[in-house]
Amino acid sequence: MDTQGRCDSRHGWAVIGATFMTLVCTYGAWYSYSVFLVALLREFGWTRSVVAGAFSLFLVVQGFLAPLAGWLLRKIGPRRSVLAGGIVVGAALLLAAETTEWWHLYIAFGGIFAAGMSLAGWIPAVVLVWGWFPHRVSTMVGVASAGIGIGVLGVVPLAQFLIEQVGWRWAYRALAVLVMGWTIPATLGLIRDPSAAVGGGVPPLGLGSEGQADSPVAWTLAGALRSARFWRLAGVFFTGSYVTQMLMIHQVAYLVDHGVTAMTAATVSGVGGLMSIVGKLGWGVLSDRTSREMTYALGFGCVLGSIGALVLAGASRTPLSLFLFSVLVGLGFGVLGPVTSAASSDLFGGPGFPTIFGVLFGIMCLGMGSGTWSAGDLFDRTGSYAVALWVGAAMAILSPVLLWLAAPRRPNPPPAPR
């Protein structure tokens, strides 16, 4: 590797580090909704489906914006996208702090926060990793996305602490300062679009700082939509996010309902975040060294086990049962990001990848929103989470089956243009 290549490689790691911390802040604010949900229920007396509905709207709006975000990345590049998104996320959190009616929360968090996360969240993070490290996508996505776990580990308990000390309004304002205080200077100083970018976008053939190009492919969004493998992979995105997001958002409320203190439940969520870091790193490496399908199946075995562990934790409330749940849900949640991103790259890498991945992420958001809202709705209808957990278990079984059917380790060529 020449001097420029070594320089680019070092800067690629700086981009990974900055992306890691950006995901800590933004996704920490995202998953802190699990503790704000309890605080909002207590203050306003709204139904659980109304409060969970704001989060579901956030996911649905983000899902609809995802294809546009993928297209925009090719026009302006990830750096500008993350900068704008960080500002919008901070503004949304400040507005959420002023909530007095349910629709205020829907506009601030469900709408504006969703727009900011579309610009600063998962899609630009994956495109940056794919552009800088095209031949180690799963491993490097695992490294960068470990920031999500740190966000859950650190920011969620911090939010609960702030809620108890200064109230949920000032907790939201503090998160706004955290997000903007990091993303603005870090994006300007550390993040750079992939070196082979054309017009500040992404590499035309996945060419990154390592100086190697992927095989030329000609996948377009229209071609992907005509592929059966695309829809199988889309099913993986939907079902996997359905069950994991349901567990991540409703775990605190479930445990509080069963007599666990709010701070203990938030700590359990934080430990799950810690274990997701181990999962993201471990599953990412395992996926690159073995197969996407087997790695994903092992990860979702943990998700399925976590559902049983959550029921046990609610019934016994022992430290061991709470720890078992947090370990399993964290490990299971950790497999979703690196493996689905790498599978998408395996099947649909090339110049159209940002747009195609944007659509897949949009479908993932629909799954997240469906899981979060339906769990709240089923609770309101039945008075418990029992039915929701059975549905989640079915999704945890179906998701790896769909990935085996999509078979990312045997990618097919794109269809001939019509």
pLDDT tens figures, 275-312 = 888 888 899 889 888 889 999 999 999 999 999 999 99
DSSP secondary structure string for all residues of 401-412: HHHHHH-TTSPP
**Which 8-state DSSP code applies to residue 317?**
-
> Which residue ranges make up each domain of the chain?
3-190+221-406
Q: Is 199 exposed, middle or buried (0-12, 13-18, 19+ CB in 10 A)?
A: exposed
**Residue where the block lists tokens 């309004």:** 169
Q: Is 4 exposed, middle or buried (0-12, 13-18, 19+ CB in 10 A)?
A: exposed
Query: What residue type is assigned to position 88 of the chain?
Result: V
Give pLDDT tens digits along the chain (418 positions): 444 444 456 778 888 999 999 999 999 998 898 889 889 999 998 888 888 888 888 988 988 898 888 888 888 889 999 999 999 999 999 999 999 999 999 999 999 999 999 999 888 998 888 888 877 778 888 888 888 878 878 898 899 999 999 999 999 999 999 999 999 999 998 888 875 443 344 444 333 333 333 444 578 889 999 999 999 999 999 999 999 989 988 888 899 888 888 888 878 887 887 888 888 889 988 988 888 999 999 999 999 999 999 999 888 888 888 899 999 999 998 898 889 988 998 898 777 888 898 899 889 988 988 898 899 889 989 999 999 999 999 999 999 999 999 988 776 666 665 5
Q: Top-level CATH class of 3-190+221-406?
A: mainly alpha
pLDDT tens figures, 80-121 = 999 999 999 999 999 999 999 999 999 999 999 999 999 998
CA R_g for the chain = 20
